[in-house]
Amino acid sequence: MHLQEFVTVLVRDPRTQKEDSWHSYIDYEIFIHVSIKVSLQI
Q: What pLDDT score was predicted for residue 30?
A: 95
pLDDT one-digit tens code per residue, 28-37 = 999 999 998 8
Residues 6+ away with beta carbon under 8 Å from 17:
24, 25, 26, 27
pLDDT one-digit tens code per residue, 1-42 = 788 899 999 999 889 888 888 888 889 999 999 998 888 877
Q: What pLDDT score was predicted for residue 21?
A: 80
Q: What pLDDT score was predicted for residue 3?
A: 82
Q: What pLDDT score was predicted for residue 25?
A: 87
Please state the pTM of the whole predicted model.
Answer: 0.52
